């Protein structure tokens, strides 16, 4: 069955990597139909009782509980309370945790369980394990930062997300749960794919072929493709384009280079393809990204 994908939120023309709000529920019934998105999503229940459907499995979610929803995991939420209730919704792109995508492999191994479809970790962390910690307070602090938008609030939000995520990792570790990817998988990622990942980061502005990267990693092309897809959750060309788009973002907001110059500088052969791909990835054109970023920055 095909489920709708919820695209990255755009506020005032700018795609947001993280969002937080209170979901108000007025009564029983469906709160949000089945869907998925690239965000990792964490819910904190303020009041009410809910049935959270995650990849076909039902989970009870009630006051003081926290729910973990993977990136691209199909989920649906139904209220079971006659009077409804409230819960805090915190969404963030996986790269918020490990900053520049795939640059730090030691951090990447902690995030993979939240982006791989095969992950089957505990989905509900109950109130009894949370109420005496700083977790509830952090959710409200993030809400406050979004509401007030004080100077540097973006840094505060990222910091709070990192603290929540670290607490979750240590919670599982203390329970004896191996929450990272297996050593075999990690060794594959580090030892077999690292040469290609490093090469892209240094030569993204040049023509790079997957076949050449397979040779660099001492793999056949077909095996390299399978390993890359499985471990990185995307194919090689998607990774290459992602790196190029990230570099283009930096140039758009830090230089006066025109769109064509930036397109060439990050390795694209045609400006039209660069614009098309940028818009597909960011839900905004390069021109408007630059314009909105400057307007947003000047308004702070």
Q: Is residue 125 part of a domain?
A: yes
Kindly write down the DSSP assignment for every residue of 116-157, as one continuous string: -TT-----EE-HHHHTTSSHHHHHHHHHHHHHH--TTHHHHH
Of the listed ranges 16-20, 48-52, 139-143, 209-213, the one predicted with least confidence? 16-20
- Pair (26, 150) in one structural domain: yes
- Pair (129, 167) in one structural domain: yes
Total Cβ atoms within 10 A of residue 162: 15
Task: Indicate if the pLDDT at residue 42 is higher than 60.
Answer: yes
Q: What is the pLDDT of residues 126-139, one digit of tens each?
A: 999 999 999 999 99
Phi-psi category of 237—alpha, beta or left, where left has phi over 0 and alpha has psi -120 to 50? alpha
Q: Is residue 3 part of a domain?
A: no
Q: Is residue 295 part of a domain?
A: yes
What is the helix, strand, coil percentage profile of the chain, to 5? Answer: 50, 20, 30
- Pair (109, 204) in one structural domain: no
Task: Indicate if the pLDDT at residue 227 is higher than 90.
Answer: no
CATH of the domain at 282: 1.10.10.60
Total Cβ atoms within 10 A of residue 167: 17
Task: Indicate if the pLDDT at residue 188 is higher than 80.
Answer: no
Task: Indicate if the pLDDT at residue 70 is higher than 90.
Answer: no
**Is the Cβ–Cβ distance between 52 and 75 less than 8 Å?**
yes
Task: Indicate if the pLDDT at residue 118 is higher than 60.
Answer: no
Task: Indicate if the pLDDT at residue 13 is higher than 90.
Answer: no
Q: Is residue 46 part of a domain?
A: yes
What pTM did the predictor assign?
0.65
**Domain span including residue 291:** 183-299
Confidence of residue 61 (pLDDT cuts 50, 70, 90): very high
Query: Please, what is the average pLDDT of the chain?
Result: 83
- Pair (146, 210) in one structural domain: no
- Pair (150, 252) in one structural domain: no
Between residues 8 and 204, the one the model is more confident about: 204
- What average pLDDT does this structure show over 73-97? 90
- Pair (18, 164) in one structural domain: yes
Most confident of 115-129, 144-158, 221-235, 282-296: 144-158
Q: Total structural domains in the chain?
A: 2
Domain boundary (117, 151, 174) is at 174
Q: Is residue 271 part of a domain?
A: yes
Domain boundary (147, 174, 201) is at 174
- Pair (244, 159) in one structural domain: no
pLDDT value at position 268? 95
Q: Report CA 143 to chain centroid distance, whole Å.
A: 19
How far apart CA 202 and CA 188 sit, in angstroms, is 21
Name the token pair of 262.
Answer: 């930036």
Burial track 175-198 (b if 16+ CB lie within 10 A, e otherwise): eeeebbbeeebbeebeebbeebbe
Who contacts 118 (Cβ-Cβ below 8 Å, separation ≥6)?
none
Q: Is residue 142 part of a domain?
A: yes
CATH of the domain at 99: 2.60.120.280
Quickly tell me which residue has 């997957």 as its tokens.
210
pLDDT value at position 179? 53
Q: Is residue 254 part of a domain?
A: yes
- Pair (156, 117) in one structural domain: yes
Domain boundary (149, 174, 199) is at 174
């Amino acid at each position: 069955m095909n489920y709708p994908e919820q695209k990255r939120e755009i506020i005032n023309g700018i795609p947001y990597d993280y969002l937080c709000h209170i979901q108000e529920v007025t009564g029983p019934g469906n709160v949000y139909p089945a869907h998925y998105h690239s965000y990792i999503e964490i819910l904190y229940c303020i009041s009410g009782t809910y049935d959270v459907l995650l990849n076909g499995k039902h989970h009870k979610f009630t006051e003081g509980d926290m729910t973990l929803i993977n990136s691209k995991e199909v989920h649906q939420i139904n209220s079971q309370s006659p009077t409804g209730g409230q819960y805090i919704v915190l969404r963030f792109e996986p790269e918020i945790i490990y900053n520049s995508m795939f640059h730090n492999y030691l951090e990447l191994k902690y995030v993979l369980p939240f982006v791989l479809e095969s992950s089957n970790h505990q989905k509900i962390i109950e109130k009894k394990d949370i109420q005496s910690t700083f977790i509830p307070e952090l959710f409200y602090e993030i809400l406050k930062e979004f509401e007030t938008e004080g100077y540097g609030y973006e840094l505060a939000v990222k910091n709070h997300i990192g603290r929540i995520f670290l607490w979750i990792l240590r919670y599982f570790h203390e329970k004896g749960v191996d929450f990272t990817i297996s050593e075999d998988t990690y060794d594959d990622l580090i030892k077999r794919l690292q040469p290609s990942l490093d090469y892209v980061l240094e030569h993204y502005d040049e023509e790079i072929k997957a076949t050449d990267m397979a040779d660099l990693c001492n793999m056949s092309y077909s095996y390299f493709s399978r390993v890359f897809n499985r471990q990185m959750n995307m194919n090689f060309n998607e990774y290459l384009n992602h790196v190029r788009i990230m570099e283009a973002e930096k140039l758009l907001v830090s230089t006066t280079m025109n769109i064509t110059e930036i397109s060439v500088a990050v390795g694209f052969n045609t400006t039209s393809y660069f614009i098309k791909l940028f818009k597909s990835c960011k839900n905004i054109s390069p021109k408007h990204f630059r314009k909105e970023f400057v307007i947003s920055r000047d308004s702070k």
